[in-house]
């Protein structure tokens, strides 16, 4: 199948592109390199032996996207492109609403014009807000998000649902990712954010490689077994596989479908530190600090629906992901020397 992947050189996109190529799908990437590097294309090629077609374009550029659709005629789209930094979205709401929403509008208009009827969208567990209970199922209420970033996910889910409702030929998969971590086994693909990382694993990777001297643990007085925040950390390669399964599901013309992609298991910050130390043999010094505003105590997925309807099953655990993430960070430092 020919698949257009927006944001395909980013963290989750690049791992998914590798899986698609390994599955013999034909991939067309549109990415403006806002948060990725062209070298990722070379690395995808060195892992798979195939260099996917690449357009360095902003998805918001309607004329250029139209030309890409006219030429490539994709049968399906995976829409990763968007901004994703929660804190930045609070500081620059317009930038987030503009990019995340407008790129979706332009994409949907092209899909309609060129009769491309299948779309997989990168949503987030953030749409569940502060969950009433865990694990969260796909039926758990979607709540008003605590950041403009999260709000764009809620809004785009709504837009796609409304479009699907009046277009019976449209198939839409909303994939609600929990906490993607880890990297490709090759050490060639992974997550290496600019500046000081906000997310837990990128921060720990920097501590492990001596770039930061300790981790700040945000709160140890939550109502969780050890008092630290509990999340559902899923290896990015397992998450990537979930996209292939979702595309396969769309082939059966299901209309709108929604799936949580997580492991179904909650892990606390202190447990992540232990797993990291066990997997890598590197000590992670940490200090307990105040809670981070906006954090929920506990969030992890019910994965029953994805297992039942997609056959989704994770192959890797948190330790595997810690080791792969560490190896990627070390290799990246070597390459940047």
C-alpha separations of 253 from 109, 110, 163, 164, 171 in Å: 20, 20, 15, 11, 6
The CA-based angle 61-14-24, given to 5 degrees, is 100
* Residue 203 makes contact with ligand UD1 by CB under 6 A: yes
Q: Which of the listed partners (ligand UD1, ligand NAD, none) does 13 bind, with a CB threshold of 5 to 8 Å by partner kind? A: ligand NAD
Interface residue with ligand UD1 among 5, 86, 136, 273 (CB under 6 A) is 86
Binding mask 269-298 for ligand UD1 (x = CB under 6 A): x----------------------x-xx---
CB of 330 to ligand NAD, least distance (A): 20
CB of 116 to ligand NAD, least distance (A): 17
> Count of CB atoms within 10 A of residue 172's CB?
23
* Residue 231 makes contact with ligand UD1 by CB under 6 A: yes
- Helix (H) or strand (E) holding 18, with range, is helix 11-22
- Which lies closer to ligand NAD via its Cβ, residue 36 or residue 205? 36
CB of 326 to ligand UD1, least distance (A): 16
CB of 97 to ligand UD1, least distance (A): 16
What are the φ/ψ torsions at residue 106 (nearest 5 degrees)? -60, -45
Nearest to 67 by CA among 122, 25, 4: 4
Nearest to 76 by CA among 121, 125, 33: 121
* Residue 84 makes contact with ligand NAD by CB under 6 A: yes
* Residue 265 makes contact with ligand UD1 by CB under 6 A: no
Annotated catalytic sites, by residue? 149
Q: Is 79 helix (H, G, I), strand (E, B) or coil?
A: strand
Measured between alpha carbons, how far apart are the two ends of the chain, in Å?
Answer: 40
Interface residue with ligand UD1 among 218, 277, 319, 330 (CB under 6 A) is 218
Residues 177-196 that bind ligand NAD (CB under 6 A): 177, 180
């Amino acid at each position: 199948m020919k698949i257009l992947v927006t944001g395909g050189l980013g963290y989750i996109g690049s791992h998914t592109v590798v899986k698609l190529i390994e599955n013999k799908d034909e991939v067309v990437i549109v990415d403006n390199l806002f948060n990725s590097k062209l070298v990722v294309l070379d690395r995808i090629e060195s892992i798979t032996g195939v260099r996917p077609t690449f357009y360095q374009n902003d998805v918001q550029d309607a004329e250029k996207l139209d030309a890409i659709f006219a030429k490539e005629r994709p049968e399906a789209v995976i829409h990763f492109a968007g901004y994703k930094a929660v804190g930045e979205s609070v500081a620059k709401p317009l930038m987030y609403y503009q990019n995340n929403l407008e790129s979706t509008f332009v994409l949907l208009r092209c899909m309609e014009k060129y009769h491309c009827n299948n779309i997989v969208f990168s949503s987030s567990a953030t749409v569940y807000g502060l969950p009433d209970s865990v694990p969260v199922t796909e039926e758990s209420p979607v709540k008003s998000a605590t950041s403009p970033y999260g709000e764009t996910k809620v809004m785009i889910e709504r837009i796609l649902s409304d479009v699907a409702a009046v277009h019976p030929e449209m198939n839409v998969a909303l994939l609600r990712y929990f906490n993607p971590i880890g990297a490709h086994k090759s050490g060639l693909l992974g997550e290496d954010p600019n500046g000081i990382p906000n997310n837990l694993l990128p921060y720990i990777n920097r501590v492990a490689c001596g770039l930061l001297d300790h981790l700040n643990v945000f709160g140890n007085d939550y109502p969780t077994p050890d008092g630290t925040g509990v999340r559902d950390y899923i290896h990015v390669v397992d998450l990537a596989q979930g996209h292939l399964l979702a595309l396969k599901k769309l082939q059966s013309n299901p209309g709108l479908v929604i799936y949580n992609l997580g492991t179904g298991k909650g892990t606390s910050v202190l447990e992540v530190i232990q797993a990291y130390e066990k997997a890598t043999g590197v000590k992670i010094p940490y200090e307990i600090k105040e809670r981070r505003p906006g954090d929920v105590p506990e969030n992890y997925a019910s994965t029953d629906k994805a297992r039942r309807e997609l056959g989704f099953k994770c192959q890797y655990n948190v330790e595997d992901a810690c080791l792969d993430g560490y190896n990627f960070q070390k290799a990246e430092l070597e390459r940047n020397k």
